Amino acid sequence: MVDNLPEPLGREDEIAVLVDHLGTAGAGALLLTGPAGIGKTTLLAALARRAEVAGRCVVRVRATEIEQSLPYVTLGDVVAGLGPAHLDGLPAHHRAALEVALLTRAPAGAGATVAAVPVALRELLERAGRDRPLLLAVDDLQWVDRESLVALTYAVRRLRGRVSLVATVREPVEEELAALGDRLAVGPLPVDAGVRLVRSVLGEPSSYSLALRVHRAASGNPMLALELARAVAEQSEWSSDRLSELVPSDALAGSVAERVSSLPDAVRDVLAHAAAVARPTVDLLTRCCGPGVAEHLAEARRAGLVLTSGSAVRFAHPLYAAALLGDLAPADRRAVHRRLAELPLEEEELAWHRARACEGTDAEVAAVVERAALRARGRGAPHGAAELGALARDLTPLEHVADRARRGRLVGASLVDAGDLHGARDVLERLRDELAPGADRATTRVSLSEVLYELEGPTTAEREARAALQEAGDAPLVAAAAHLALVDRSHADAAERLSHAREALTLLSAGPEDDPRLRAQALREIALARFHRGDGMPAEILEAMELERTLADPPPVAWAAETCYAECIKYLDRLDEADTLLDTCHARAEQVGDLASLVDVLGHRAELALWLGRVEEGGRLATRARTLAEELEQHGRVGIAAAFAVLAAAHAGDLPAGRREGQLAADAELDEWSCAMLAHARGRLELWWGDAEEARRQLETCDRLARSRELSVPRQWRYLGDFVEALVATGERCRARERLEDLRAWAAVTGLSSSAGMARRAAGVLAEAEGDLDRAAQELEAAVAAFASVGMRFHAARTRVTLGAVLRRARRRRLARETLTAAVLDLREMGALGWVATAESELARVSGRAGSAGALTPAEEQVATLVVQGLSNKEVAAALSISLRTVEAHLTRVYAKVGVRSRAGLASRLR
């Protein structure tokens, strides 16, 4: 740090600790704690000056009590303090999240930025810290608005090194703030420093003993000492004779109140308006209080109560603002808010002032506050939306039952957005119990069922949804919503889910009103239920996609019909189409900042990339999905994201990494579907690289779930091929044959090449174990062809390794060599290095000569000739009018037959 800077009087030890904190790598956050007036702000300012001189980027923010109810005020200060260049340099989805939150961009959907803003702020701070070390200096952290606090907490906990947070917090410190970082308790001033401070007010001729009495009466609190010193100097009520009678906390409040009350009425009126508005300026105060504001502020400034910078006005200490508002009678306070509500402020702040100006209920104001709550929710400010929604509800006359119920549900929905499920349950249960049976209570029950599903599981949620259906009466929209709640929040089988979804669609079609969002949801659920029942990809999903494109407020990307369609056709062997659609869904989620949906989309993209042989890409996508699930604290998605990460490790051949990922997720609380997906991934990992007994144990979990459900969907039965192989590996051949028949029957029902490939591969593994090598080779060759026909390149290559081993055992060495060589080349190109090592090890066990170039087919010779001439695979495809995939397949066979591993080797051999 820098020497020779003026320091706060008597605070050398505290400054040393602060300087040391900034110089410690990875130190994180530090909280300066202590009572009001102890000098926390002075210390923070001194640290900021030192940091600026030392070349750090310093962003100073000061929160006020009035800002607690206004979303993203502190976030706006932080972003403004960093400057536009850092914001402009962010990736588009991060910039969009921050701009929506700060009202410089229209929201793309309700709640879309709730999870995105904290992640975007972390990225912003991290990028800012790359240029030069960054210090965030936050004064009065306890008054930072809830939305900004959530974002700051998230970012600071994940940033270390070049980004530091130092904040002041008034005691007592809330538990949530205390967990943010280390604490430095700011204590009383030392005696010598305290006496010097008091004598700076009393004047040097004053006696040391008087100054000491003032210091001791203040218990070393600098602000109280200054207030008492001024009182003594002015011979006011707090004379030196009464110093020994003072209780410091009462004395500080009393001294501040006395100073405020001694001001002229006109000055107090101006300052009261300044205390009640988030960001007071001379212009705003002039609009409220008329001419003469500048002179009144000048008088307050001379009294040491306010500070001005340009047009901006702020109080020298928050206690002065609190004293001014506390001094007002309730009617006068309402009058202040009424005048402020006429100013050109943001919608949420205007609504807040209008609410505070009311005495009793007011239907008109309640409607205004409700609109502000909806706006806050739309910009990703759920805590602010919940507070405004509660104000709107309480302002609604009791006889306006439907309005009160709707606003109560808004509070519940906002709390769900904020992650406060227990709070949402309390609000919605109280509302349900207050309402009489009917449509409003049924609608409330539907909302409550969503929360109960997350907190208490499907049984309680289903009971609430069924009660909603019974109470819906002749309200078709409410009944339709209840049916869809039963689809979403119960564990009914596919047939029952389909029945509820169809009933919802019937109600929507027959009723006098329609709800396009509910209709799209019903169509989507019908399609998914039919898909799960084994009906392929029903046309209803396309209708849902078209309808959702017309919605002003579409569903989250993860639940959009297009995303569901892409995920389903992935399991129907339409891999290229699914790849394109999932890429589109990924881009949309990034664009609107829908990070919660990204976890699902990235996971499906990862699995598809692995199937297509893009192993490194699949690993990257799976890692990001896993990281996002943890960062967003999406406990329900951690298991699914971890399953994709384990699969990526299995494809890469990284057993330790896969086991770590699997165990971390297994220790979390997961629903049964997440458990099944994770168990399949862990079982596959152990089957391929580890312990066959553990593989069988994990895959038994999937088997129990699948056999307890009436499912024919391709996704849920894909574990079965691995399960048969695990049974074979552990010597349970009788069970393996039984489950193989189930697998064959399922493959026949679906008619999918991928299903046939799994069945043929499992049959080949079983035949090899039984010693029938010829039948094993036939089955495995058929499996390779089936996988290759739909582009499942990795599965085809992995099966070639197994086939090569069978051919070697059957003493068909030349064919074994060709097969294994082709597998090695293909797996190496995919980046599946673990499998490359396995294939090369098997290849080393084969004796015999490599194939010759003369064995090439005419098509292979054409491809080989053009490759030797230097053309890329794409150029070869264009020249021969064939697909890129066909070129790659021909080239793989050419390498195997010629006995080379690269284009250079091929050119050397054929020239």
The DSSP annotation for 841-859 comes to: HHHHT--SPPP-GGG--HH
**Any idea which of 5-14, 272-281, 366-375 has the lowest mean pLDDT?**
5-14
Instruction: Give 670-717 pLDDT, tens digit per residue.
Output: 667 778 888 899 999 999 987 889 999 999 988 887 676 554 444 556
Q: Does the structure show a pLDDT above 60 at 238?
A: no
The residue with greater pLDDT, 107 or 4, is 107
Half-sphere CA count of 37, side-chain side, radius 13 A: 21
Q: Does the structure show a pLDDT above 80 at 857?
A: no
Q: In what order do the strands lie in the sheet with 57-62?
A: 57-62, 134-139, 163-170, 29-34, 182-185
Q: Does the structure show a pLDDT above 80 at 842?
A: yes
**Any idea which of 251-255, 280-284, 317-321, 435-439 has the lowest mean pLDDT?**
251-255
Instruction: Give 346-363 pLDDT, tens digit per residue.
Output: 999 999 999 999 999 999
Predicted pLDDT at 849:
45
Written as one letter, the residue type at 737 is R
Give which of 553, 616, 628, 562 is closest to 590, Cα–Cα.
628
C-alpha–C-alpha distance, residues 445 and 23, integer Å = 55
C-alpha–C-alpha distance, residues 636 and 645, integer Å = 16
Band (6; pLDDT cuts 50, 70, 90): low
DSSP state of 166: E
Give which of 185, 159, 126 is closest to 28, Cα–Cα.
159
**Any idea which of 253-262, 459-468, 889-898 has the lowest mean pLDDT?**
889-898
Dihedral sign from CA coordinates of 170, 173, 179, 185: positive
* Average pLDDT estimate for 58-69: 92
Residue 828: exposure state from Cβ atoms within 10 A (0-12, 13-18, ≥19): middle
Predicted pLDDT at 491:
61
Instruction: Give 743-763 pLDDT, tens digit per residue.
Output: 999 899 888 999 999 999 999
Instruction: Give 566-593 pLDDT, tens digit per residue.
Output: 999 999 999 999 999 999 999 888 777 6
Rg of the chain taking only CA atoms, in angstroms: 35
Predicted pLDDT at 908:
59
Q: Does the structure show a pLDDT above 50 at 4?
A: no
Across all residues in the chain, what is the average pLDDT?
87
Long-range contacts, 369-372 (Cβ 8 Å, 24+): 369/395, 370/406, 370/407, 370/410, 371/347, 372/347, 372/348
The residue with greater pLDDT, 861 or 794, is 794
Q: Does the structure show a pLDDT above 90 at 265?
A: yes
C-alpha dihedral (786, 790, 794, 797), degrees to nearest 10: 40
Predicted pLDDT at 3:
43
Instruction: Give 313-346 pLDDT, tens digit per residue.
Output: 999 988 899 889 988 999 999 999 999 999 989 9
Predicted pLDDT at 790:
95
Predicted pLDDT at 638:
79
Band (241; pLDDT cuts 50, 70, 90): low
Predicted pLDDT at 266:
94
Q: Which residues of 428-442 are buried (b: 16+ CB within 10 A; e: fewer)?
A: bbebbeebeebbbbb
Predicted pLDDT at 711:
45
Cβ neighbours for 737, distance < 8 A, ≥ 6 positions apart: 766
Predicted pLDDT at 850:
44
Written as one letter, the residue type at 227 is E
Band (113; pLDDT cuts 50, 70, 90): low
Enumerate the β-bridge partners of residue 169.
Answer: 33
Query: Does residue 584 sit in helix, strand or coil?
Result: helix
How many separate helices (H) and strands (E) can be counted in the chain?
47, 7
- φ, ψ of residue 539 in degrees (nearest 5): -70, -20
Predicted pLDDT at 249:
56
Predicted pLDDT at 853:
40
Predicted pLDDT at 260:
87
Q: Does the structure show a pLDDT above 50 at 2?
A: no
Q: Does the structure show a pLDDT above 50 at 642?
A: yes
Predicted pLDDT at 244:
55
Say how many residues make up the chain: 911
Is the CB of residue 159 less than 8 Å from the CB of residue 631?
A: no
Quick one: angle between helices 347-356 and 363-378, nearest 10? 150
C-alpha–C-alpha distance, residues 18 and 5, integer Å = 14
Range picked from 25-34, 418-427, 485-494 for highest mean pLDDT: 418-427
Written as one letter, the residue type at 371 is R
